[in-house]
Amino acid sequence: MPIPAPFLGAAVQFEPTLGDRKGNFRTLLKLTEGAAIAGAKLIVLPEMATTGYCFHDRAEIAPHVEPIPGPTTDAFTAICAAHDCWIVLGMPEVLEESGTYYNSAVLLGPSGVEGLYRKTHAYISDPKWAKDGDLGLPVFDTPLGRIGIAICMDAAYPETFRIPALRGADVIAFPTNWLTEKAPSPTWWARAVESGVYVIAANRWGLERGVQFDGGSCIIDPDGTILNSVDDGDAVITATIDPARARTKRPHPDTPGHLLDSRRYDAYTTLPLNTYLWNPTEMHGLYGHRPLPDGRKSRIGVLQMEPHPGNAGANLATVASLLATKAARGLELVVLPEFALCGQPATKMQAGAWAEPIPGPSTIALAAIAQASDCRIVAAMIERDGRRLFNTAVLIGPNGPDGAWGVESRYRKLHLTDSDATWATPGNLGLPTVDTPLGRIGMLIGFDALFPEAARVLALDGADLIACPSMCAYPAVAPWGETAIPQPAWIEAGPTDDHFHLWRERSRENNTYVAFANTPKAGGWSGIFSPGPEDEPRNDALVRGTDFDLATTTMDTTDSTSRQATNPVRAKPLLRMRQPIWYDPLHVSPESWLLGAPPEDWE
């Protein structure tokens, strides 16, 4: 089918008055019609825009719920008909035949209701009155292009945006009432970048029953560029949406590979499992099999260095020198960048010349360095296995008889960049984790970060730490300026130079430590990111910019009780609240008819 032409999208930022449906309705109609008169063809309004958000219970919200279609949708449909536009409106819905309430968003067009989405992942206040969404994660075909919808807390779950992207969404309309961090949220950024889609984020602002909402409504393009945004106040922002850019899945010249075709769905078979539904300290050790390692505190680090191409000796010397410094004293694990032992090959011939078997000269030498420093090392190299070459990460530790040091675990990169694909075989070992005294450790490499499924699989398997050797320039770490919205003391309301960092998002959406070691030429910003959610103080350690340096922190897997996990890295509260019933399309082949079918046709 022909790709639709570019059009103007709009996000409406608005502070509703709790329970004042008539007053909110009048202001919203005025803001929305203004956007339509200005030429906007897709206009997104905030979550619960007609009523406010902080209701105590079903009884309090009961006078304000409406059926869909109903009087409110009829009024906004009139705007669509008069201006040939489409509107996504967040509102509380009642299903009259059952009396069930939903936190919903309705897609309206010139002819009326064209689509309905019900919030899938509930925030803390939603269960006081609303049922979890039961319509799945649909995509709606319109003359503008393919539109998906997500609501607020849904964005904390990559699955909620990923599945519409797999079903062909060009843009995700995102009504939200986001809070507890400076907005635009880096989480919204991540959802756009990882799937190459536009995100129109319409947030509310202001204070309601003591809850401070963040504002920061924005329109994000498929490479993560913020096309337009507003900090606080009622406002309408617009930007051009080009469906052709969303369909390339290579939205920026630095995109290292295809964002969807490079997926390895065969490695994602555990994604629909709800492994954190029960107490993880019991579930992971059920029947005596693979209990989580005992909790402890461990010093870990990441080294930002530039490997010497084709000179394993020089690279090993760099590592040995670093581990002998005062800054590295007491480290129990250090992560090195991608190709740390050999440098990045420019040709298939170079890759073949620099490749080694495992074990081989470089891993044996690295084991001696690790043993001398009593520090585990995660390093990446070109592995030769017969005629095949792999982009491989190894964990070096004391795994042999009598504590001899060697390769404890090995991971072969699953998601290959365009450059990797000229010489490397796609990884064939899946996404393994290994238990060490420090905790349960998984590994990813570079481009794997663009695939939220990979980190999720490791987290579902109980990973305390994901070690990430990288040589990754995309997406770039992004700064953001000051916000006028009051924030908790631990959130920097002023300008920040690392507001968006994709690996930080991987840590917080999975409640898992992430140790990301990058190279200076690939943009740097190596760091160790802690597993807490956005509404708690974090304990990140960064190498700012492109310096050669070491960042260190303490990884804490201890718990206040041996029976019930409370430490986020062990309890993984965000994983517990996933809705895997809707996630099957993540691990089926792209050719499967399931991807385009509504949930009721999946049997």
Query: Looking at the predicted structure, is the pLDDT value of residue 496 above 60?
Result: yes
Instruction: Report pLDDT for 566.
Output: 87
Q: Edge-to-edge strand order for the sheet containing 541-542?
A: 433-436, 439-443, 465-469, 513-517, 527-529, 541-542
Name which of 44-58, 209-223, 394-408 the model is least confident about.
394-408
Inter-residue contact 595 to 588 (CB < 8 Å): yes
Residue type, 69: P
522 near 309, Cβ under 8 Å? no
Whether pLDDT at 25 is above 90: yes
In this structure, the number of other CB atoms found within 10 A of the CB of residue 264 comes to 19
Confidence tier at 1 by pLDDT (50, 70, 90): low
Stretch 13-20: mean pLDDT: 96
Q: What is the pLDDT of residues 101-157, one digit of tens each?
A: 999 999 999 999 999 999 999 999 999 999 999 999 999 999 999 999 999 999 999
**Cβ contacts of 97 within 8 Å, gap of 6 or more:** none
**CA–CA dist 188, 489 (Å, integer):** 22
Contacts of 239 (CB under 8 A, 6+ apart): 8, 9, 219, 221, 227, 228
**195 pLDDT tier (thresholds 50, 70, 90):** very high
Residue 449 confidence (pLDDT): 96
Residue 601 has pLDDT above 50, yes or no: no
CB neighbourhood size of 57 (10 A): 9
In the predicted model, is pLDDT for residue 538 greater than 90? no
Mean pLDDT, the chain, whole residue set: 95
pLDDT cut 90: percent of the chain above it: 92
Residue type, 291: P
Burial of residue 59, with CB atoms counted within 10 A of its CB: 0-12 exposed, 13-18 middle, 19 or more buried: exposed
pLDDT at 188 over 70: yes
Return d(Cα 167, Cα 590) in angstroms, integer: 9
474, 499 contact by CB (below 8 A): no
Q: Does the pLDDT of residue 593 top 80, yes or no?
A: no
Q: What value does the mean pLDDT take over residues 69-88?
A: 98
Q: What pLDDT score was predicted for residue 561? A: 64
Neighbours of 245 (CB within 10 A): 21
| HEC readout, 530-565 | CCCCCCCCCCCEECCCCCCEEEEEEEECCCCCCCCC
**603/594 Cα distance (integer angstroms):** 9
Mean pLDDT along residues 495-518: 96
pLDDT at residue 346, as a whole number? 95
* Domains by residue range for the chain, with CATH: 7-248 (3.60.110.10), 280-287+296-587 (3.60.110.10)
Torsion of the alpha carbons at 549, 554, 557 and 562, rounded to the nearest 10: 170
Better pLDDT: 445 or 562:
445
Catalytic residues: 47, 119, 152
pLDDT value for 594? 47
Among 106-110, 114-118, 488-492, 550-554, the least confident range? 488-492
Is pLDDT above 60 for 599? no
Statement: residue 503 has pLDDT above 90 = yes
Count of helix runs (H) and strand runs (E) in the chain: 14, 28
pTM across the whole model: 0.96
Mean pLDDT, to the nearest integer, of 60-83?
97
Cα–Cα distance between 37 and 75 in angstroms, integer?
16
Considering only 111-115, 310-314, 561-565, 586-590, which range has the smallest mean pLDDT?
561-565
Confidence of residue 562 (pLDDT cuts 50, 70, 90): low
The per-residue pLDDT for 602 is: 40
